[in-house]
Structure 1
Amino acid sequence: MTELDSENRSGFVTFVGRPNVGKSTLTNALVGEKIAITSAKPQTTRRAIRGILNRPGGQLVIVDTPGIHKPRTLLGERLNDLVEQVLGDVDVIGFCVPANEKIGPGDRRIAASLDGYPRAKKIAIVTKVDVAGRDEITERLMEVDALREDWAAVIPLSALTRVQLDVLSDEILQLMPTGPALYDDDVVTDESTEDRIAEMIREAALEGVRDELPHSIAVVVDDIEPREDSDLTDIHASIVVERDSQKAIIIGHKGSRLRDVGARARAQIEDLLDTRVFLKLHVRVAKEWQRDPKQLGRLGF
Structure 2
Amino acid sequence: MAESSVLHGSQSGFRAGFVAILGLPNVGKSTLLNAFLGERLSIVTAKAQTTQRRLLGICSGPSFQAVFVDTPGLLDPRDPLQRSMRAEALSTLDDADVVLAVVDAGFRPSIDWVEGFRTPAGRPALLCLNKVDRIPAVEAERLVEGWSRGGGWAGVHRTIAHRGDGVEALLHAIVDFLPESPPLFPEDDLSDVPVRDLVGEMIRETCLEELSDEVPYAVAVRVEQFREPAGNEPTYIEALLYVERESQKGIVIGAGGRTIRKIGTRSREKVERFLEQRVFLELRVKVLANWRRKPNHLRLLGFRIPAEET
TM-score, with normalisation over the residues of structure 2?
A: 0.89
Q: Deviations over 1:1-49 (max 9, x none)?
A: 9997322111111211110000000001101111111112221112211
Match of 1:198 in 2: 200
Deviation at 1:97, TM superposition (A): 1.1
The 8 Å contact of residues 221 and 235 in structure 1, kept in 2 or not, is answered as: yes
Change (3 A) 1:187 1:215: same
Match of 1:243 in 2: 245
Query: What is the one-letter code of the residue matched to 1:5?
Result: Q
The 8 Å contact of residues 6 and 57 in structure 1, kept in 2 or not, is answered as: no
Match of 1:223 in 2: 225
Query: What is the one-letter code of the residue matched to 2:105?
Result: A
Same amino acid, percent of matched pairs: 36
Query: What is the one-letter code of the residue matched to 1:112?
Result: G
The 8 Å contact of residues 131 and 159 in structure 2, kept in 1 or not, is answered as: yes
Deviation at 1:110, TM superposition (A): 5.1
Whether 2:120 is the aligned partner of 1:123: answer no
**Distance in 2 between residues matched to 1:257 and 1:131, nearest whole Å:** 34
Any stretches of 5+ residues in structure 1 without a counterpart? none
Give secondary structure in 2 for the equivalent of 1:120.
coil
2:61 to 41, 52, 55: 55
Change (3 A) 1:145 1:288: farther
Query: What is the one-letter code of the residue matched to 1:129?
Result: V
Query: What is the one-letter code of the residue matched to 1:257?
Result: T
Change (3 A) 1:283 1:139: farther
**Distance in 2 between residues matched to 1:143 and 1:238, nearest whole Å:** 49
Deviation at 1:233, TM superposition (A): 1.5
**Distance in 2 between residues matched to 1:227 and 1:3, nearest whole Å:** 46
Match of 2:171 in 1: 169
Change (3 A) 1:154 1:223: same
Any stretches of 5+ residues in structure 2 without a counterpart? 1-6, 304-310
Aligned ranges 1:1-301 → 2 under 5 Å:
5-102=11-108, 104=109, 107-109=111-113, 112-115=116-119, 117-142=120-145, 144-145=147-148, 148-226=150-228, 228-301=230-303
**Distance in 2 between residues matched to 1:109 and 1:137, nearest whole Å:** 16
Change (3 A) 1:136 1:110: closer
Give RMSD over aligned pairs. Answer: 2.1
Deviation at 1:133, TM superposition (A): 3.5
Deviation at 1:73, TM superposition (A): 0.8
Give secondary structure in 2 for the equivalent of 1:50.
strand
Q: Deviations over 1:116-141 (max 9, x none)?
A: x3133111101123444323422443
Change (3 A) 1:144 1:257: farther
The 8 Å contact of residues 99 and 136 in structure 1, kept in 2 or not, is answered as: no
Deviation at 1:55, TM superposition (A): 2.9
**Distance in 2 between residues matched to 1:229 and 1:149, nearest whole Å:** 58
The 8 Å contact of residues 100 and 136 in structure 1, kept in 2 or not, is answered as: no
The 8 Å contact of residues 130 and 161 in structure 1, kept in 2 or not, is answered as: no
The 8 Å contact of residues 103 and 114 in structure 2, kept in 1 or not, is answered as: no
Change (3 A) 1:181 1:249: same
- Structure 1 window deviating more from structure 2 (127-136 vs 29-38): it is 127-136
The 8 Å contact of residues 148 and 155 in structure 2, kept in 1 or not, is answered as: no
Give secondary structure in 2 for the equivalent of 1:18.
coil
Deviation at 1:114, TM superposition (A): 3.1
Give secondary structure in 2 for the equivalent of 1:7.
coil
Aligned residue pairs: how many? Answer: 297
Match of 2:306 in 1: none
**Distance in 2 between residues matched to 1:85 and 1:98, nearest whole Å:** 22
The 8 Å contact of residues 124 and 145 in structure 1, kept in 2 or not, is answered as: no
